[in-house]
Amino acid sequence: LRIDTNTNEIKLASFMRDTLVQIEGHDKNRINTAYHFGSIELTNLTLESNFGITPDYYVVVNFYGMEDIINALGGVDIDVQSNEVKYVNGSVDELNSIDNDGKSAHISGSGMQRLNGRQAVAYMRIRKVGGDAARVKRQQTVLNELFKEAASIDLSQVPSMIGVLTDYVRTDIPLGEMVNIGTAVLKMDVSELQRFTYPDKYDIGNYKGMSIVQPANYEEEMDKLVNFLES
């Protein structure tokens, strides 16, 4: 996520989890395994060595933390498609079976509706409709709607809201800097996140028995990523 207060732009770049990359000490593997092998340190190193990206900060959140953050902001409005409903409800059931305390109801059907935290996380996890690329778009859609909800709060509420949200995340952003960032964002005239997924054009293949994603043209896709973040 890149925040530019000079241009009033907030840009969200997502990486498809099956993207094949070089991971230090682990040969080539899917990019999501970097976190499994070496937590945020190896994830950052992998982003830097493969894409030249060095994040200033990180934020780590799990399923239930994401659910709580969404609930803290009152839910999100999502247009659920008819072929997604059964997968949302199936994932809700799975999450309910693991955590009975936060048990959630099913969604009743398709269409624009207010999803609570568990329903929204279930929506973000769908992969069987449209594959991983569609899942990334769902995740970006929920994050965009969450951003809209956060952007509607009053400046005076920023410290207390950040205090609530930090209960659910692990981050290296100092609390004071987090308040500064939140205040700066609320002062910006931004109604939508600009979004990009790497790779934009890709081939699906197989590497050592794993389903992988590779850019159709590495140079072109890298140019798109750099131009998106820096233009």
**Each residue of 122-167: pLDDT tens digit?**
999 999 999 889 999 999 999 999 999 988 888 888 888 888 888 8
The alpha-helical segments, DSSP class H, found in the chain are 33-51, 63-72, 85-98, 117-124, 131-151, 158-165, 175-187, 218-230
pTM score, whole prediction: 0.90
What is the average pLDDT value for the chain, to the nearest integer? Answer: 94
